[in-house]
Amino acid sequence: MSESGVVDITILGAGPTGLAAAYYAGHRDASVRIVESLEQLGGQVAATYPEKHVYDVAGHPKIQGQKLVELCAEQGLQYGAEVVLGEEAKTLERVQAGGEELLELTTSKGGRYRSRALIVTAGHGAFEPRKLAIEDIEAWEGRGVHYVVREKALFRDLACVIVGGGDSALDWTLDLQDTARLPISLVHRRDRFRALESSVSEARRLEEQGRVRILAPGEVRRIHGDGRIEAVTVEDTATGDLHEVPCDALITLLGFHSHLGAVAEWGLELEGKRQVRVNPMTMETNLPGIFAAGDVAGYEGKITLITIGMGEAAIASNNAIAQIRGEKVQPKYSTD
Ligand SMILES: Cc1cc2nc3c(=O)[nH]c(=O)nc-3n(C[C@H](O)[C@H](O)[C@H](O)COP(=O)(O)OP(=O)(O)OC[C@H]3O[C@@H](n4cnc5c(N)ncnc54)[C@H](O)[C@@H]3O)c2cc1C
């Protein structure tokens, strides 16, 4: 980084694609700053499925999500990229400084970051969990309400109530069998689950053994406790009956809202509502000096997978560097 804090490339989003872009930029001796709205690295992988296994990333026949992003971070940050966590990108302007045109990004915390190029690796945008429609739900956050399962050990011997009908809810009902106090209660507002049939059958089998209690169709109506959650009231929506269920941890796995937010207001051409249109040969957007890669980058036939994002990160970083240096795009091997 220069004394003025100007770096060659700002990378917006620290998911697997942003970390790969940081690697490819650092490898070419470019200075890098990563700006990330969450307080952690790893994007969707770390936020939504850290303990699941991923099987389709080259070189890793089977790897836990969290382990994968830790390795991505080790690789991506090895050249000393600056990492700014907990700041959501808000505005982007072009400014003249020191005889050159720079991009100036500002953030939700008042950060002001200048660079010669920007690579947007914002995934589905800054994401937020969908919450239960209970008036004081936010007041219980940090006191027993969870929106993700980051570390199984946090739930050891706790009475868990899991809410949701998709794969995450069913997967954690099964995965926490060796950790949580049994039975684990599973609440879903419909009597049919959206999750994989085999997971639903397994949950029903465990219900017969008293290891899972399925409350469906049901909805959590109230949370009780003094300081921390002690119980929840679940309504059987078929009969109207109310059940008080002991609960130390209320894990609501209802998915995430994500939106491009401010990024969509920067004059970037969009592909649908959720992606920034790029030229897949260079990963450049319609705005000079601004590139995009990973889930956020759209073009005809795009596939949103980790591997694809990593490949696009290599294209974006190499093209950004060539543009900054006024050179031809040249791949450089990393072998030494
Ligand atoms: C349950 C599940 C299972 C999956 N399994 C697989 C699999 O097996 N194999 C596979 O290849 N893919 C899988 N995927 C998809 C994979 O996780 C994504 O393709 C990958 O995470 C995309 O990486 P990314 O870096 O492009 O975006 P993300 O991982 O979404 O990271 C983007 C980051 O940008 C940050 N950000 C966004 N907007 C802003 C802003 N305005 N300011 C600051 N920061 C911002 C976000 O907070 C986020 O951390 C799965 C996805 C899910 C949900």
Q: What is the pLDDT of residue 213?
A: 98
Structure tokens at 290: 């601004």
What are the residue ranges of CATH 3.50.50.60 in the chain?
7-127+256-325, 131-252
| Residue having the nearest C-alpha atom to atom 14 of ligand 1 | 305
| pLDDT tens-digit series, residues 319-336 | 999 999 999 998 899 998
Rounded to the nearest 10 degrees, how much is the dihedral formed by the CA atoms of 189, 195, 201, 206? Answer: -70
**How many A from CA of 21 to the centre of ligand 1?**
14
Q: Give the HSE-up count for residue 265: Cα atoms under 13 Å, Cβ half-sphere.
A: 9
Peptide bond into 217 cis (omega under 30): yes
CA nearest to 115, candidates 266, 13, 1, 23: 1
The CATH number of 131-252, from 3.40.630.10, 3.30.1330.60, 3.20.20.70, 3.50.50.60, is 3.50.50.60
**How many A from CA of 203 to the centre of ligand 1?**
28
For the chain, which residues score pLDDT lower than 50? 1, 3
In which residue are the tokens 């051409």 written?
269
Q: What is the pLDDT of residue 1?
A: 47
Q: Which atom of ligand 1 is nearest to the CA of 35?
A: 43
The burial of 108, by beta-carbon neighbours within 10 Å (0-12 exposed, 13-18 middle, 19 or more buried), is given as middle
Strand bridging mode 112-120 / 82-85:
unpaired
Residue 327: what are its φ and ψ, rounded to 5°? -115, 170
CA distance 300 to 306: 18
CA nearest to 100, candidates 219, 2, 244, 243: 2
Q: What is the pLDDT of residue 150?
A: 72
**How many A from CA of 210 to the centre of ligand 1?**
36
Peptide bond into 183 cis (omega under 30): yes
CA distance 2 to 15: 25
Contacts of residue 213, Cβ cutoff 8 Å, sequence gap at least 6:
183, 184, 185, 186, 207, 245
| Residue having the nearest C-alpha atom to atom 21 of ligand 1 | 44
Is residue 253 within 6 Å of ligand 1 at its C-beta? Answer: no
Best residue among 120, 290, 302, 306 to mutate for probing ligand 1's pocket (most ligand atoms within 8 Å of CB) is 306
CATH 3.50.50.60 applies to domain 7-127+256-325: yes
Residue pair 46/154 in contact (Cβ under 8 Å)? The answer is no
Is residue 309 within 6 Å of ligand 1 at its C-beta? Answer: yes
Is residue 276 within 6 Å of ligand 1 at its C-beta? Answer: no
In terms of pTM, does the model score above 0.85?
no
Residue pair 45/65 in contact (Cβ under 8 Å)? The answer is yes
CA distance 176 to 173: 6
**What are the DSSP E strand ranges found in 43-137?**
53-54, 63-64, 82-85, 89-97, 100-107, 112-120, 126-129
Paired residues of 218 in beta bridges: 236
Strand bridging mode 249-252 / 7-12:
unpaired
Residue 66: what are its φ and ψ, rounded to 5°? -65, -40
| pLDDT tens-digit series, residues 227-285 | 999 999 999 999 999 999 999 999 999 987 777 889 999 999 999 888 999 999 999 99
Best residue among 12, 35, 45, 64 to mutate for probing ligand 1's pocket (most ligand atoms within 8 Å of CB) is 45
**How many A from CA of 4 to the centre of ligand 1?**
31
Q: What is the pLDDT of residue 40?
A: 87
Is residue 285 within 6 Å of ligand 1 at its C-beta? Answer: no
As a whole number of Å, the end-to-end CA separation of the chain is 25
Structure tokens at 321: 């560097």
**How many A from CA of 18 to the centre of ligand 1?**
10
Give the containing element (helix H, strand E) for 23.
helix 16-27
| Residue having the nearest C-alpha atom to atom 1 of ligand 1 | 49
